[in-house]
Chain A
């Protein structure tokens, strides 16, 4: 065999080898299907002087006055434990956090020390916990709603739906019930005392992944992947109206005054008439919207996955459109005179703005 011939054969084999390695490198690097890959967005809650941020491998307690770290949990990162659900605060002084490792933890909000953990769920917790005076209620990707007392014991056996539960449950003060939305297309109303089903809706047409919300006159609003916002009468169990969105409606609708504010993955933000579901105005500032807006007395704040942090008045006039590095998947939170934003893929995990939109401080995990 000649040199040229051998070189040709060798070149072809090298080429095949390079292509195989290249293919495997590309495919391996894109192996996001691995179970424990953390791919949620930060969950945020506050009390009077501290912001609690569940962001990946840690829960951070951040001083609201200056953005400095008070503590983080766990002190050392564990690859198998990640936190993304918004932490909940109980009346007796516990911070409840949920994890992708299927556990619920109770922490001391002053120190970050662990009080107890609940480890009976079989799948990850995507959302945080609903905390009421009667207990702690959390939906799991194992299809169940778990109800715990404040010592981490089950209040009643898990309530099972037909699909994964990603949405935070909700309640009203006087219904003695939990509103639970599931990816099985249904909204369930569960008796808070014993976990029995009070009633459930018909198939609402698509998966629901965000918290059902309630207006002052007791109407329930849900967003579905069937490109719809729905208003439901919990007394008559009827759908009052449906509003068709341009794309999947991911974020919770937020009722305020005579309007309900909703959004979809096309990046359109809608103001609907709460009574009729008719469109009053809409804006599309750019980027997809997956989080519910923050509504203050005068203004509306929301973010998009292009990093746009939008401040708009209640007639739909954009007052400020600030672009941040990364994506804004987490709902902004109002804390005193601050508006807190927790971006994804940004060096800062938490940024505090004044109500005028001027940045006050930011928090980075390295601090």
Chain B
């Protein structure tokens, strides 16, 4: 089942690669955008659900319940569930779309890495997934100054600068900050701290991966980050204030 899914993804990637004049860098970018666009309904649903949850928590009715039953946790939970049902909101409503997106994202990543077959074993493995693309082998993995199967460095005055890794850190930071939401009352608690820590560590972790592994992976990270940012902007959920640490509400 998973293999069939990867085969499907690889063949679409190769189709795009052929369509854009056998430019694998462009194919990665377009393929990532395409997959993200196809996942847009899930993303929109996730965002909508998060927003509804936030609005609910800001509402007078919700605040009144908190005050009224603050000393009776069981009753409070029961009332909260009633409000959830009344408003048609599931407290985990934003998790399901997120869960559905993960296999697609992993599949997208694996399709890119498997297609960048540069050694005999990798090519033997890739051949299992290619239906009708032998003519496209070997994949042209040169893109701009990059060899997509290798870690990227741009030589500037004799120094190898990891441009892509830097872009991955920047776009990951922007993406994490812009799309992070905070709930009312979540003011410096464990969740907020974790969120804060994640928004700092994740970009560097992604940057480390981009620095160390094939630059095709870094290109995919950047395309993913930029597409996600664009989707949140379109949905009106991007919070530019969060980019500046002092104004961060989390």
Binding site for B on A (CB under 8 A): 1-6, 8-10, 12-17, 19-20, 22-24, 26-28, 30-35, 37-41, 84, 100, 126, 141, 163-164, 166, 183, 206-207, 209, 225-227, 247-248, 250, 265, 288, 290, 305, 329, 344
Contacts and interface: CB of A to CB of B under 8 A. Distances in A.
A35 B214 CA distance: 7
Nearest to A1: B185
Interface in B177-220: 183-186, 189-191, 194-195, 198, 202, 205-206, 209, 212-214, 216-217
B121 interface: yes
Contacts of B70: 2
A6 B150 contact: no
B177 to A, nearest CB: 15
Interface in B58-108: 66, 70, 73, 76-77, 80, 91-92, 94-95, 98-99, 102, 105-106
A152 B81 CA distance: 79
B120 interface: yes
B41 interface: no
B contact patch SS: helix
A3 B92 CA distance: 16
Contacts of A2: 66, 70, 73, 76, 80
A248 B127 contact: yes
Contacts of B114: 32
A35 B151 contact: yes
A8 B91 contact: yes
Given A2-B76, A4-B76, A33-B216, A40 B121 contact: yes
Contact of A3 (B73, B149, B184): B73
B48 to A, nearest CB: 15
A24 B105 contact: no
Nearest to B221: A27
22 contacts: A1-B57, A4-B76, A4-B77, A5-B80, A9-B191, A10-B191, A13-B195, A22-B102, A27-B106, A28-B209, A32-B122, A33-B116, A33-B149, A34-B151, A35-B214, A37-B119, A39-B122, A41-B120, A206-B137, A265-B124, A288-B124, A290-B124
Given A2-B66, A32-B113, A33-B217, A41 B121 contact: yes
A20 B195 contact: no
Contact of A250 (B112, B119, B124, B190): B124
A17 B194 contact: yes
B124 A13 contact: no
Given A34-B214, A35-B151, A37-B119, A6 B73 contact: no
Contact of B137 (A14, A207, A290): A207
B135 interface: yes
A27 B77 CA distance: 39
B163 interface: no
A168 B51 CA distance: 62
A40 B120 contact: yes
Query: 3 smallest A-B Cβ distances: which pairs?
Result: A1-B185, A33-B214, A39-B121
A206 to B, nearest CB: 5
Nearest to B66: A2
B186 A12 contact: no
A contact patch SS: loop
Contacts of B216: 33
Given A8-B91, A35-B147, 7 more contacts: A13-B191, A13-B195, A24-B205, A32-B114, A183-B138, A207-B138, A265-B127
A226 B127 contact: no
Contacts of A8: 91-92
A207 B149 contact: no
Given A27-B109, A206-B134, A9 B183 contact: yes
A265 B138 CA distance: 17
A225 B147 CA distance: 24
B11 interface: no
B110 interface: yes
A100 B147 CA distance: 16
B102 A23 contact: yes
Q: Which of B106, B114, B116, B213 has the most CB of A within 10 A?
A: B213
A162 B250 CA distance: 55
B118 interface: yes
B134 A207 contact: yes
Contacts of B195: 13
Given A10-B191, A207-B137, A34 B213 contact: yes
A1 B186 contact: yes
Interface in B139-162: 147, 149-151
A206 B114 CA distance: 20
A66 to B, nearest CB: 30
Contacts of A164: 138
A359 to B, nearest CB: 25
Contact of A39 (B119, B150, B186): B119
Contacts of A226: 134-135
Q: Which of A12, A166, A227 has the most CB of B within 10 A?
A: A12
Q: Which of A20, A100, A288, A344 has the most CB of B within 10 A?
A: A20
